[in-house]
Structures are given as structure tokens and as C-alpha cells.
Homo-oligomer: A and B are copies of this chain.
Amino acid sequence: MRNSDLSDRITHQLAQDILSGTFDRGQHIRAQSIADRYSVSRTPVRDALIALETAGVLEHKQNRGYFVAETLPKQAQEYFQANQPEKNMEYHRIAEDWLTDRLPEEVTEQLLKQRYGLTKAKLNELLLRAVREGWMERKDGYGWRFLPVAKTAEAFDEIYRFRMAIEPTAMLEPGFEINRTVLDDQRRIQEHMLDADLKDVPPEQLLRNGSLFHEELIKLSNNPYFFTALQRVNQMRRLMEYRAEINRDRLVNQCSEHLEILELLERGEIADASYLMRRHLSGALKRKSPIAWNWSEESERDLNTPAG
């Protein structure tokens, strides 16, 4: 059995899917169906299946394939939660180094390769992502340039004002269509966050759920340009929030607002939902966001009224 990045990722994703009950106990897991699900070939899926058998999540029957174990091992849940394959560690390290001015504005590929111990291909992948997410660009000659975005507290406001322009409007798109499944999923997630002891949920998860909520809703507009625009600024935002601390009280408030929006949508009151979305975003803009900055004294003071 091999153990590539890809099969590792599939292992974990599949584990999550199984442990969260997407498949029934004892159900036959067909290799091809999993391959289709993640749009890869059966080869890395196979490796993942073997890994999951070793972990006791699956059972193997010769020439019949893999089946969900009747009794899932107790520790599996935590194991797969904790050991998420941190893809692109270096990506975040570079982003952070740039945000904290530990990298000059212009760098050569050479420098990055050496400093972060990257191969050509890894570096390419990383630069590709940074370009896509809008904070790096190729210079005309040699070298790359970091773009001066998302470094300041001001950028945070700019992103929120941009979101105020697109998110409520997206709901009024002619193609907007309410999808019960999506709404139900999101309600479940938001309610879970309110119920659970927030201390137990890792902060990345909390942030991811927040972005997910907004992205899933904007998708309902069926206008992909709204969706990709939001995705883009969210990725940018996440670069900043990577270092941020979360104010749990405000998060609770945020979740309840999300639930209110969902409720309106479920009742088909789209215009009201759009309006509430605008208010929701404007609230976050007015320093009520659950995120506290900690990379510079100034911006922290700037963004936070004393905790209350």
C-alpha cells in the first residue's frame, strides 16, 4: 500500500463521511463509487480503503470488497478529527510571514524554495493558489510580488462592505431557488454550534462553518459569479483570521442571526431574508464580529470594543 497525499486526504474524507453516518453499518463501499465521489481514479481510493480497514472502520472480504464495520472503533472519531492532513502547511506559513512583514514585498522563487524547503512543483502549486486567492502576482521579469491586501484592519471592513453589496443582492437573483436540503443542512450545523460546548470545537471549524453558511446561501442564487466572488474574499479573510481569536459570545449571536435568516428562507420570505442578511453583515462590520485580531496592537485596539 502506498501513502500519497491524495490517498491520505481521501482516507480522512471518507472516514469523516462514514463516521458521520453517510453510510449504513455493514454497507458495501464500492471503490468506483467513491472514486466518482471525489473524482479521482480507483487507485488512491484503494489505498484509502486499505488504510481504513487497518483503522478498523472498514472490513474486508476477499473478492467482495470493503464494508462498513458493524461496530466502529471508539477512538476512530477523535483520531480522524485530530489528524486532519494539514495540506499546504507552507502556504499558511508564507501567508503569515507576509502578513507579519517577515518577507519582503518581492521575492524570487529561489528564495521561497530554500526558505521553506519546497520543490519546484510544490512551489508552483502554492503560487498557483496564492495567485488564485489574489495575494500574489508574477512580476514581468524574475520574481513574484506580494500584493498589499488583507494586511490591515481596513481590509476587513472593505471585505464586509463588498459582501454587503453581493450577498443580499444574490438572494434577489431571478435564478434564486430555495433548496430544503441545503437549508436543513445549514440549520443543523448552526444549531449544533449553539448546542455544543464551543470550547470543544476547533476554531478553524467554527470559521469554516461560518463561511460555509454564507457560501451555500449565495449558491442558491444559481449565479456562479456571485458565488465565486464570495469564495474569493472569504479565502482572503481566512488568511487573516488564521491568526485571530474568536469571541464566543459574538459567535453565539452570529449563529442565531444565521438561524433567523434560514427561518425566513424556509417560509419563502426571500426579500425579508435578503434584508436581514444585509443587517447581519452590517452588524459584523460595526465591530461586532466574533473575531479578534492579535497581530498588532493598533489593529486590535481599532477593532475591538472592550469585551463585554
Contact = CB atoms under 8 A, between A and B. Distances in A.
Contact of A141 (B40, B158, B162, B233): B40
A246 interface: no
A134 B145 CA distance: 20
A6 interface: yes
Interface in A105-161: 124-125, 127-128, 131-132, 134, 138-141, 145, 149, 158-159, 161
Task: Classify chain A: how many residues form its interface, as a range.
Answer: 35 or more
A141 B44 contact: yes
B165 A39 contact: no
A40 B139 contact: yes
B139 A161 contact: no
Interface in A220-276: 223-226, 228-229, 232-233, 236
A9 interface: yes
Contact of A127 (B38, B44, B128): B128
Interface stretch (A166-174, A191-199, A298-306): A166-174
Contacts of A134: 228
A41 interface: yes
A252 B130 CA distance: 40
B169 A39 contact: no
A223 B39 CA distance: 37
Contact of A161 (B125, B173, B232): B173
Nearest to A168: B165
A134 B131 CA distance: 11
Nearest to A226: B162
Contacts of A40: 139-141
Nearest to A170: B165
B162 A225 contact: yes
A143 B219 CA distance: 26
A224 B158 contact: yes
A204 to B, nearest CB: 21
A39 B39 CA distance: 42
A9 B140 CA distance: 10
Contact of A128 (B41, B131, B158, B232): B131
Interface string A23-53: 0000000000000001111001000000000
A294 B39 CA distance: 34
Given A131-B131, A140-B6, A158 B124 contact: no
12 contacts: A6-B141, A9-B140, A41-B141, A125-B138, A128-B138, A132-B132, A149-B224, A158-B225, A159-B225, A162-B229, A228-B232, A229-B229
